[in-house]
Structure 1
Amino acid sequence: MGTVHAKDQQKPPVVEDQRENLGINGPGDDDVCSGKTGQHKFVSLDGLQARVDKIHIDGLVRTKDDIVVETVRDLFKAKDFQEVIVGAHAIRGKLEALGCFRNIGIFIDTSSGPGATPNGLEVTFHVRELKRIIGGVNSLIGNNEGSLVVGMKMPNLFGRGEKLQTEYSYGSKRTTGFNVSLSKPLRGKMNSVFTSTIFQVGSEWPWSGYKQIERGLLFDVAFTSAPKVKHNLQWEAAWRDLSTLTRSAAFQVREQAGPSLKSSLRHILSVDRRDAPIFPTTGALFQLTTEFAGLGGNVGFFKNEMLLQGNFPLTSDMVIQGAIQAGLLKRLTNDKVVSMCDEFFLGGPLNLRGFETRGVGPHSDGCALGADAYWAGAVHVYTPLPFRPGKGSFGDLFRTHCFFNAGNIGNFNFTDDYQHNLKILGTDLRMAYGIGLALRLGHMARVELNYCIPVSFKRGDRPAPGIQFGIGLQFL
């Protein structure tokens, strides 16, 4: 067991590495109790003076003491009992984020023994470390596709939250993937995590007439600069081999067949202040992805993609949601090339409903070619099911929604005249509206079944009037 003692709150805590069992009995995982062991005292927390004399971590085996001490030491700053309660729950969240433990319980008792103060408390965290090797088979949902995933991971590999993980996936649309990654939390107040990944991904895109195998290496540093503000700094080196699916593929597709090598830097900014990732009732989401390719290899471009979503409650059970996403790719002027897999595509149940997947924009011989710029926007009104069947249980997983979405995509010739650029983006709009049913799957994915009515499209587009099904992690 690791025990943390604070002789003086003005001095840093002293660590004593004691692995014996102290025999402290506490309540269940989610209980916070005050009073002597085995007793519950209900007291008013207003103005109740308290300080933390000692912190005990019960259950350490492989985890190193230094990382635990750094995680819990902020609890010594508490000045009253309410701050102790709130701080203890915050510390439990930080311990869970280390990726070392499960079933973390908290027990608060009055301080006793040498060094005890009149208002002193002892806080004990009962932890249970994760197994050395964890494996399993599960399903993954994304991009309107379901995948079977077989994986194995070794959490807390070296005792400081490191994790080695390997996965193999096979998708319903013949997408295959294999990766091996090693992640390590970095010390500091920014909750930084460094991850290195070796990967191979094979995918087929029948809407564009090509398939691709991608092998590469990815380094990622994730950190937070403010509450709910997350950054990812990435470097990726990938070798891609693009080939045609059929002999009838368009000439522009066959022309790009062959290998390419991309080396790129990427920054992903995410600010998520919604109250829930699926069916939020209030709050906003902002994501900005910036990528520069051309540091090596034969692929070169500068690419930006943005997503903005806002949610506004109209009544206690009715929410209006507005969202817009856009992307712009600028090709480098040297001898670098841009592959089809780097272009933007538009259309399908995950973004521009009422059109087939990749059904909007430049096409040739039935193959979607992609473009350098696009934008799409949508307005939704979400309500519970009529007459509220299953209220408080299964019925709360469903929402009905009316929607209107519009967008445009193309290789536009932008100038320094912003009014001219806006006029270009507003020309040849594609629009559709409809009504549908949405189902929440856990807290990350959802399913939509919509009846769509396209009202504006261009020659060469592929509208999809009628019933449209979508499943994925993120919808427009």
Structure 2
Amino acid sequence: MTGSAPPPDTTAGVLTPADNKTPGLGKPGAAGTAEFAVQLDAFKTRVDVINIDGVARTKNDILDPLVRPLFEAHNFEDVVLRAHTVRRRLEELGAFKTINVFIDTSRGQNATSDGLEVTYSVVETRRVVGGVNTSIGNNNDGSVVLQLKCPNALGRGELFQTEYEYGTKHTTGFQTSFVKPLMPWFWPQPRLTTTVFQQAFDAQWSGYREIDRGLHLDLSFKSRPSIAHSLRWEAIWRDISALTASTAFAVREECGHSLKSSLKHILTWDQRDNAVIPTKGALFRLQQECAGILAGNVGFHKHEVELQLNRPLPLLADIVVQASLRAGIMKPLQKIDSVTCINDRFFVGGPLTLRGFNLYGVGPHSDGNALGATTYWNGGLHVYTPLPFRPGAGGFGDYFRAHLFANAANIGDFAFADDHYKNFNILLSGVRYSVGAGIVLSIGHMARFELNYCLPFGQQPGDRTSAGLQFGLGVSFV
């Protein structure tokens, strides 16, 4: 590959293949008389030159490997497909605001008879970008986020950003992160993220306030187009204090400082067309965490799985049936002086998990404070339909859906470590469930609002129900 001298402020480089001796191959076939159908793969061609116009900060050593696959194309169809693949990878680099692709016949002294010239016209992102955004959490809360970003900070797709968050439930926090793409031309597209953060929030359902300070290193990559992996190491110093004078003694026993160092793996296979209100596709997510092996006084291993399937009805494509399931188990680490804390356990209940019950209002309680448990399962069956008579069809009305649902869940602690039959009975005894109907409002791919009329059943002593109208706000629902 050789380079040519570009204009000083508009062109990063002109690339040519290392071997320019491939002869022209064939001519396009004859066309039909009634209808003309073009077979693009019948046009034997090659790429002679690749131009990247509009580059100022981005380095050539990151661009060259990204566009080089174009030189391996042998017909026009292959050129078009590879050109769009390269465009997508340039977008994922995060260095450019706009990218346009132009394909033309090759010109110049070294042009071949069947050669093409591919030009990418790009506009780089600004050096500093800031804004005020809103963030939706999974505790039925929202936050205002002040954000400052430096995209393409070092010219190779790096991202430096800092955020300050202030939200409901006295949530405050800030974080600073640095994201570095590692060999973005390589298929797994590995990406390394380093984050330093502090976050404080009120866990009103359990009567405590938590302040977390720590850092994490995250390596994310893909094993297939729809399968993503995240390998993370976290080190968090956690401070738990009683929220009010009425906080239960069982919660006060959990208060104090703890240091958690954990390794976490998250596998996600997502084929849904929309993460908020999907109309088709499936989701599988497996999350595994092991704390206390390397350092810290918190020790446990935790496993959590999520399944979701969405199918439109065969004759009524506007009606979507969804089935979902979540389950998790946590076991203390058999290590001297290791502990588990209330904020490590599982909680169930509320408009995002088990409708018709208060937020985390299911399971062990003490004086009205949720204590959490080490095992749970939570399932749901939903039917989504357009609104009756379709008001606002083709516009704002398309963001609304009518919603029928049935939820079931259970939560508890395994009392018999080696007796699987008794453990199975623990998970099936005392099942809580609810049914209801309502309206769902989708906010793009960000979040959704739910207003449902709920009827809870099977409540156990200590559970806190919320029969009637219930409002939900979040990203991930069961």
The reply to whether TM is greater than 0.5 is yes
Displacement of 1:422 after TM fit? Answer: 2.5
Matched position secondary structure for 1:94: helix
| Deviation larger for 266-275 or 415-424 | 415-424
Q: Which of 61, 84, 87 is the equivalent residue of 2:56?
A: 61
Displacement of 1:417 after TM fit? Answer: 4.7
- 1:372-383 to 2 correspondences below 5 Å: 372-383=374-385
Find the aligned partners of 2:160 and 2:372 in 1 and give their Cα distance. Answer: 37
Q: Which of 244, 269, 272 is the equivalent residue of 2:270?
A: 272
Name the structure 2 match of 1:204.
202
The change in CA–CA distance for 1:60 and 1:363 in structure 2 (over 3 A counts) is same
Name the structure 2 match of 1:459.
461
Name the structure 2 match of 1:362.
364
Matched position secondary structure for 1:202: strand
The change in CA–CA distance for 1:364 and 1:304 in structure 2 (over 3 A counts) is same
Contact persistence 1:9–1:76 (CA under 8 A): no
Displacement of 1:80 after TM fit? Answer: 2.1
| Deviation larger for 422-431 or 47-56 | 47-56
Q: Which of 100, 118, 126 is the equivalent residue of 1:131?
A: 126
Find the aligned partners of 1:397 and 1:225 in 2 and give their Cα distance. Answer: 34
Displacement of 1:8 after TM fit? Answer: 4.9
Does 2:449 align with 1:447? Answer: yes
Find the aligned partners of 1:164 and 1:451 in 2 and give their Cα distance. Answer: 44
- Using the aligned pairs only, state the percent identity: 54
Displacement of 1:316 after TM fit? Answer: 1.3
Taking only aligned residues, the RMSD between alpha carbons, in angstroms, comes to: 1.6
Q: Give per-residue Cα distances to partners, 1:167-224, cap 9 Å, x unaligned.
A: 0000111111100111100013211110111000001011100001000011101100
- 1:137-152 to 2 correspondences below 5 Å: 137-143=132-138, 144-152=140-148
Q: Which amino acid aligns with 1:348?
A: G
Displacement of 1:418 after TM fit? Answer: 4.0
The change in CA–CA distance for 1:444 and 1:10 in structure 2 (over 3 A counts) is farther
Find the aligned partners of 1:101 and 1:382 in 2 and give their Cα distance. Answer: 38
Does 2:313 align with 1:327? Answer: no
Matched position secondary structure for 2:253: helix
Q: How many corresponding residue pairs?
A: 446
Q: Which amino acid aligns with 1:126?
A: S
Displacement of 1:123 after TM fit? Answer: 0.8
Q: Give per-residue Cα distances to partners, 1:303-354, cap 9 Å, x unaligned.
A: 1111110111112111110000011010122220111111110000111111
Find the aligned partners of 1:7 and 1:330 in 2 and give their Cα distance. Answer: 57
Find the aligned partners of 2:85 and 2:446 in 1 and give their Cα distance. Answer: 23
Find the aligned partners of 2:317 and 2:137 in 1 and give their Cα distance. Answer: 30
Displacement of 1:44 after TM fit? Answer: 6.1
Find the aligned partners of 1:285 and 1:414 in 2 and give their Cα distance. Answer: 32
Name the structure 2 match of 1:31.
none
Does 2:9 align with 1:3? Answer: no
Name the structure 2 match of 1:37.
none
Q: Which amino acid aligns with 2:306?
A: L
Matched position secondary structure for 1:118: coil
The change in CA–CA distance for 1:399 and 1:414 in structure 2 (over 3 A counts) is farther
- Using structure 2 for the length normalisation, give the TM-score: 0.91
**Unpaired stretches in structure 2, ≥5 consecutive residues:** 1-10, 22-36
Q: Which of 66, 77, 80 is the equivalent residue of 2:72?
A: 77
- 1:98-109 to 2 correspondences below 5 Å: 98-109=93-104
Name the structure 2 match of 1:258.
256
Find the aligned partners of 1:350 and 1:360 in 2 and give their Cα distance. Answer: 13
Find the aligned partners of 1:72 and 1:391 in 2 and give their Cα distance. Answer: 43
Name the structure 1 match of 2:281.
283
Q: Give per-residue Cα distances to partners, 1:144-171, cap 9 Å, x unaligned.
A: 1110100111111111011111000001
Name the structure 2 match of 1:220.
218
Matched position secondary structure for 2:86: helix
Find the aligned partners of 1:47 and 1:444 in 2 and give their Cα distance. Answer: 44
| Deviation larger for 48-57 or 300-309 | 48-57
Find the aligned partners of 2:372 and 2:12 in 1 and give their Cα distance. Answer: 57
Displacement of 1:416 after TM fit? Answer: 4.4
Name the structure 2 match of 1:386.
388
Find the aligned partners of 1:273 and 1:138 in 2 and give their Cα distance. Answer: 27
- Using structure 1 for the length normalisation, give the TM-score: 0.91
Q: Give per-residue Cα distances to partners, 1:214-261, cap 9 Å, x unaligned.
A: 000111011001111101111010100000011111111111111111
Name the structure 2 match of 1:427.
429
Name the structure 1 match of 2:350.
348
**Unpaired stretches in structure 1, ≥5 consecutive residues:** 12-41
Matched position secondary structure for 1:389: coil
